[in-house]
Amino acid sequence: FFQIKQESSGWPNQCKTETEKEAYLEEFKREEGISLNKNDITKNPGLRTVSKLALNSFWDVGELMKTK
């Protein structure tokens, strides 16, 4: 779900050229361990909202299980 959220957020404002986009993909892979699909990175507010809701729901369930 994190990959879907990132891809549906679109490119960061600082990524204007192909070189900047490639650098972003490499940095994201290095920092988060997730490979983003360059062709799927487009703004999609609805999909971003659904994936963010799913991530938050999983986070809440995980936290509840830790406290039991």
List, for residues 6-42, the tens digit of each pLDDT value: 999 999 999 999 999 999 999 999 999 999 999 999 9
State how far the alpha carbon of 29 is from the alpha carbons of 9, 32, 43, in Å.
16, 6, 20
Q: How far is Cα 47 from Cα 61, in angstroms, rounded to an integer? A: 21
With 80 as the cut, is the pLDDT of residue 63 above it? no
| Range of the structural domain that residue 43 is part of | 2-67
Digit-coded pLDDT (tens) for 34-55? 999 999 999 999 999 999 999 8
pLDDT value at residue 59: 74
Q: How far is Cα 6 from Cα 27, in angstroms, rounded to an integer? A: 13
* Total domains, the chain: 1
Q: How far is CA 32 from the centre of its chain?
A: 9
